[in-house]
Structure 1
Amino acid sequence: MTKLQSVSEPESLKPKRGFIESVRDISRNPEPERVGQRWGFGAFLLVEAVFILSAVFITAVGASYGATLESSTSLVLIGSLVPIMLAASLAVVITYVRGNGPVIDLRLSLTKADVVFGLKIGVIGLVFTYVAATVWAKIVGQDNATSAIGELFSNANLPLAAAITMFLYMSFIGPICEEIIFRGLLWGAVERQGWSRWAAFVLTTVIFALSHLEPQRTWLLLVIAIPIGVARLITRSLGASMVAHVLNNFLPGLSLLLLSVGVI
């Protein structure tokens, strides 16, 4: 038996058709043993360390040239894009070096069913996010409810290229990279310990919200993360949660793009 065959899912462990059957399947059929995977929580911690240290390094280099996050659009763009892309790339490399590659280890696939389910759960997530954001803004005030990136760019008259770059980061690059790190690498690390898929869902949701380091928005981020995690939980596919995450970020990203170039 080849290495690839040894870790493929038996037919009995694949999600059943239909939403109700898929939910029942969560507890009834655990993930199969991760044969050949030689990475775990240490890999996630390494990826997070690379993300944080690269962000600190970029900020320090910018400061040495007199640039700050408040005054330099370029520094914000580089400081946003490079760390998350570097961290996600490292996560993928780890699966090749210490495992079976991202398709098997991270469940990185994108079928038509994944896209459809991701879009459905993404729409539900948008509704929950809108309601939660409205309530949260009334509780803490509009200024405290705005994300760090949104606060930096909502009032800026950005060059078109910079605005488009930030839109691509917020709507596509950021969500895809975050899914690789949290509901790919971290989720896989949890399952390697033999914990349930429910445990992976709860732990990745909480850590995702906390990792943004925005205390005022942690509860809102938890609400945002739940539907995205549900997509991963039910389909067992990282592709579905990627689609849900992209859809959740698309409208805020588009709004920020239009605001930053002065259209609205």
Structure 2
Amino acid sequence: MPIGTAETPVNEAHQPGETPERLTTPPARTHRWGLGAFFLTQAVFVLVSVLLAAAFGSPDAGTLVVMLMLPTVLAGALAVLITVVRGNGPRLDFGLEWRWSDVTTGLAIGGVGLVTTTIATMLWVRWVGEDNAQSTVSGLLDGVELPPVVAVVIFLHIWLIAPLCEELLYRGLLWGAMERMRWGQLNVFVLSTAVFAIGHLEPERTALLLVIAIPIGVARMVTGRLTASVVAHQVNNFLPALGLLLISLGLLPA
């Protein structure tokens, strides 16, 4: 057979036993969602939060768990659904897969972030006062007696579940939408960090949330995948979640 047929062009000829690069390197798969997907998840989060607040004016322990968990979980689940319907799934679109290198990177950066966040929180409390430095979740739980099982569920949500869901939104959908617009990584990092801080809808704590978000965004940027930022976020949330658990169980003063 002459060289240069349709099956083997001249410029792609290869030695016997070799596999052409074009057959071993899969084509890049791009997603079909953008900023609208992120805004949709934010709208769902806000709408569900408002509806639950209107339905449960003075929540008991059971409804308190629903009010804390349902908006965040629904928004995170919607983010995953969007990647499945309009993309390639969270593993390819977000890089959400188990890699020890990402886990160790997330633990290392999250540990550094935990130290800086703790110092920043102490300074922030001294500057604005304890009442103004209180998070929305802390305010919602203030003075509420929780059964041990409920307290543990809320602890696990704040420590593990909420960081995962928030990362799906901010360093997943939002990050990916800006990458699709061909923004530089530094610009994506800066804007997603700012939106994360503002999106918590806690104006008194926005500056503190910026400090909290920086190491989490760094973990996403240096690895290029979501797993590291999820782990870093969970490390950052561990001490606040543990503090709320101990207060709820009466082991620490409120």
Residue of 93, 96, 104 corresponding to 1:116: 104
Counterpart in 1 of 2:220?
Answer: 232
Aligned to 2:33: 39
CA contact (8 A) 1:163 1:260 kept: yes
RMSD: 1.6
Q: CA deviation at 1:109?
A: 1.8
CA–CA separation in structure 1 for the residues paired with 2:244 and 2:86: 39
The answer to whether the 8 Å contact 2:48/2:71 transfers is yes
Runs of 4+ in 1 over 6 A off after TM superposition: none
1:105–1:188 CA contact under 8 A, matched in 2: yes
Map of 1:182 onto structure 2: 170
Q: Percent identity?
A: 48
For 2:131, what is the secondary structure of its paired residue?
Answer: helix
Aligned to 2:241: 253
Is the Cα contact below 8 Å between 1:122 and 1:228 reproduced in 2? yes
Shift, 1:231, TM fit: 0.2
Report the equivalent of 2:139.
Answer: 151
Give the distance between the partners of 2:31 and 2:206, measured in 1 at CA: 32
CA distance in 2, matches of 1:250, 1:192: 33
State the match for 1:54 in structure 2.
48
Between the aligned partners of 2:191 and 2:30, the Cα distance in structure 1 is 23
Q: 1:92 aligns to what?
A: 80
Hey, what's the Cα distance between the residues in 2 that align with 1:57 and 1:237? 34
Contact 1:121 1:227 in 2 (8 A): yes
Q: How many angstroms does 1:154 deviate by?
A: 4.6
1:82 pairs with 2:70: yes
Partner Cα separation in structure 1 for residue 92 and residue 104 of structure 2: 21
TM score, norm. by length of structure 2? 0.87
How far off is 1:158 after superposition?
Answer: 1.2
C-alpha contact 2:145 2:248 (8 A) present in aligned 1:
yes
3-state secondary structure, aligned to 1:5: coil
| Contact 1:117-1:231 within 8 A present in 2 as well | yes
The whole-number CA distance in structure 1 between the counterparts of 2:44 and 2:97 is 25
In the alignment, the residues of structure 1 paired with residue 140 and residue 55 of structure 2 have an alpha-carbon distance, to the nearest angstrom, of: 20
Unmatched 5+ stretches in structure 2: 1-21
Distance, in Å, in 2 between the alignment partners of 1:75 and 1:156 is 12
Bigger-Rg structure (1/2): 2
Normalised TM-score (structure 1): 0.83
Which letter maps to 1:97? V
Unaligned runs of 5+ in 1: 8-34
Instruction: Give distance in 2, aligned partners of 1:163 and 1:75.
Output: 13
The CA distance in 1 between the partners of 2:228 and 2:176, in whole Å, is 16
Which amino acid letter does the alignment assign opposite residue 106 of structure 1?
F
Pairing 1:193–2:187 present:
no
